[in-house]
Amino acid sequence: MSISPEEFEKLFSEFEREAFRLETLDDYSGSSHPESIRAFLAGEPQPEDYNQEWAEEVRGNIRAGKRMYRVHILARPLTDYLRFELGWGYRKNMLAGEEFYILDTTERPNPLPNVPDFWMFDETSVASTNYGEGGRFLGAESRSNPAEWIHWRDLAMSHAVPFAEWWERYGQG
């Protein structure tokens, strides 16, 4: 069942304990600001206010004792978009308290080959997120059977490494 943009946004303020995201795409540029991607690729410094609204939302949730974390399934070499997302987005959002993990499939099969992107809140509410060409966000759908999604989260986490560890090894190149 489709979720309205307002209902989807409410999930981020109403969860009580944890919000988990699984990211599976190499390109979400259609959901990003093209000027930010251009600036990153040109080697310009990150603006202080880059992604500030999300960072504040994360910071508020972390201060309230909630956990926000995600696993991104990816393979090297990184796309330009992933270099941007990890280099600017993840590194800034970590400072706000969001946790990131990488499930690198460069040298092994993807353990979650047909699992869509999703957010899960408090292990009770699940919203799969739909994307079009170039990673343009199309909307979210409410999903039932949280146990299935919990299984996928746990499987992703069991194969992932902390972002900082992965970035130290692979992110600089």
Residue ranges of domains in the chain? 2-46+67-171
Query: Among candidates 91, 86, 87, which has minimal Cα distance to 72?
Result: 86
Q: What is the CATH number of domain 2-46+67-171?
A: 3.30.870
Mean pLDDT of 137-161: 97
pLDDT digits (tens, 9 = 90+) for 72-90: 999 999 999 999 999 999 9
Question: Is the pLDDT score of 172 beyond 70?
Answer: no
What does DSSP assign to residue 117?
P
Rounded to 10 degrees, the C-alpha dihedral 126/152/23/128 comes to -30
Q: Per the confidence metrics, is the pTM higher than 0.85?
A: yes
Q: How far apart are CA 127 and CA 22, in angstroms?
A: 11
Task: Express each pLDDT in 11-54 by its tens digit.
Answer: 999 999 999 999 999 999 999 999 999 999 999 999 999 999 99
Count the neighbouring beta carbons within 10 Å of the beta carbon of residue 137: 16
